Structure 1
């Protein structure tokens, strides 16, 4: 025997019973869904490969092999594998060198050996998305970079170190010192440091290329093939510039990492972190060194004065005619200033 809805609701005319059914049924279904639905599985972090994925005969690996410095090794961290090097006497004073936006640790090619020869134990590494470190598909903000360094220090067994950063690495050094002051010995050196840049100092081309729309285009396979075609045609002459060009062409995570760093990374808006570094270093009798070139067209020399307003006790070393890539063009002056500062 079957029962119809009208039999269950005898006082209602068939049309009213059907209307009641249409009103109640969706509510019952929706309520049942919320009681029974299981959370979606979290998406896994996608990680783009580094230069390590390219053939050993690749031009980029010829310019910058993974054994460019002695004491190299890889460590797998939550956001991907990181390449690092430890050079200099094992029991020397510990110093971390942080590179900038687009050029990996090769930027220290003349400075790092000089520090090692003076008895320092030097830790170099490639930031996420550059060189031999993986490129996670995530936001490249200051927290990503400072956490990378904190985990790397933990892995190599360093409880504290002096911190040196160039360009964007200076912004990372300031943010790291503000977030993890207990991991900083007592000295921080900022070379042509980003972190306080204004949007007006960035070219329209830079802003356009780092926009989400252009990144969608530049990340496409046809566009990357075009970049590879251009990269294979003719060398730019400078090994450093050539390395940047080859990373852009052959590493799918490089351009997004650069673009995200420009939009959300430690290039701008770090005034509170610089101020915190100033307060903490003065409180602990620490010291801060600024090294800047007067011909810097990327982070102009006037920013040295702005940093000093936030860190009044910071010492400034001015290099006349020094461009932005000052660790390459004026390596001796930079090295001597760092050795003098770190040995005090």
Structure 2
């Protein structure tokens, strides 16, 4: 059925108005919305157990700095003229993960920079995508702020992925040594637990961010505390910090967990060109980033040495802190006698 002449006439009459409207919508776009930033552990009342487990004064030399994506908590410990080392924590546990290692590095003459990643601990949680660029830019800005032109870098778990990507993106900010502990970056989807895959989905994040579900999490957190204070800290973050769960979920979906083979290759080439070195530390009983990934990372980094810790799990910075500390001290002091693989 053909349109009538009256219909065509009305279409032709309305067409200029549609074109003009489209033109003005194009030249006058919507005003961009401001970035929303969720608060950190610093927002919790002083009676919260988090202040006993992990106060913002947990390490000496602490301060806050505000960047475009929110405030960042950092600490500088050790002699000011010491060799500089940056420590990067992982997916859910903030800088407390270095509690047994950082002081030992500092007491052995190193100047150590620790900080909480966005969405964890005492750093704010911007409502954004937690991709690799967010984390590497956070560290680049922090190093610029504290006046460090370069440093050795150590990362554990997701922090290892951040360290590798940081070295690939900002090679001029990295000295000649990088240590990766139980590093993420190559994890395959099959190695992520069903719970992690389920809870990190956008739909589940929408549901778990709802007010009723958050009340339920807080009810659970107010129950019998965990015997493990670090596990209790993670539970508090999940229940009381509205930006924590989205930060973790987005990191699993979009962050430095997978697909970092090019970054590892770039790190290896950079270290080989400069005569630098990379140290890998892994536990054979790691079920989060299984031990087989150590060989895969090592195959991508020609300059890498591997230290294997028998029967150590993914929490080896807690369970085997002495072995990890000794390996790092020998590595950064230049002793090659620790090579085991």
Using the size of structure 2 for normalisation, the TM-score is 0.94
Mapping 1:81-230, distance limit 5 Å: 81-230=71-220
The Cα of 1:299 is off from its aligned counterpart by 0.6
- 1:53 paired with 2:46, answer no
| CA deviation map 1:143-162 (0-9, x unaligned) | 11000000110111100000
Verify the 8 A CA contact 2:150 2:172 in the aligned structure 1: yes
Aligned residue number for residue 339 of structure 2: none
- 1:261 paired with 2:251, answer yes
Partners in 2 of 1:20 and 1:192 — Cα distance?
69
Partners in 2 of 1:23 and 1:259 — Cα distance?
49
| CA deviation map 1:175-200 (0-9, x unaligned) | 00000000001100000101011111
Query: Secondary structure, in 3 states, of the residue corresponding to 1:233?
Result: coil
The Cα of 1:36 is off from its aligned counterpart by 3.2
Aligned residue number for residue 13 of structure 2: 25
The Cα of 1:21 is off from its aligned counterpart by 4.5
The Cα of 1:45 is off from its aligned counterpart by 1.0
Verify the 8 A CA contact 2:102 2:112 in the aligned structure 1: yes
| CA deviation map 1:49-102 (0-9, x unaligned) | 100111122111221000000100001111111000000001100000000000
Partners in 2 of 1:127 and 1:239 — Cα distance?
20
- Structure 2 gaps, min length 5: 335-341
Aligned residue number for residue 301 of structure 1: 291
| Paired residues, number | 329
- 1:342 paired with 2:326, answer no
Using the size of structure 1 for normalisation, the TM-score is 0.94
2:232 pairs, out of 242, 247, 256, with: 242
Structure showing greater Rg = 1
- 1:290 paired with 2:264, answer no
Partners in 2 of 1:25 and 1:77 — Cα distance?
52
| CA deviation map 1:217-245 (0-9, x unaligned) | 11001100000000101111101100001
Partners in 2 of 1:300 and 1:142 — Cα distance?
21
Mapping 1:35-46, distance limit 5 Å: 35-37=23-25, 38-46=28-36
Partners in 2 of 1:19 and 1:199 — Cα distance?
56
The Cα of 1:19 is off from its aligned counterpart by 4.8
Partners in 2 of 1:233 and 1:213 — Cα distance?
27
The runs of at least 4 aligned residues of structure 1 exceeding 6 Å deviation read none
Verify the 8 A CA contact 2:90 2:159 in the aligned structure 1: yes
Partners in 2 of 1:26 and 1:338 — Cα distance?
73
Verify the 8 A CA contact 2:269 2:302 in the aligned structure 1: no
Partners in 2 of 1:20 and 1:184 — Cα distance?
68
- Structure 1 gaps, min length 5: 1-14
- Say which is worse superposed, 306-315 or 220-229, in terms of deviation: 306-315
Partners in 2 of 1:21 and 1:296 — Cα distance?
73
Partners in 2 of 1:324 and 1:29 — Cα distance?
63
| CA deviation map 1:301-332 (0-9, x unaligned) | 11110111101221111111111011111111
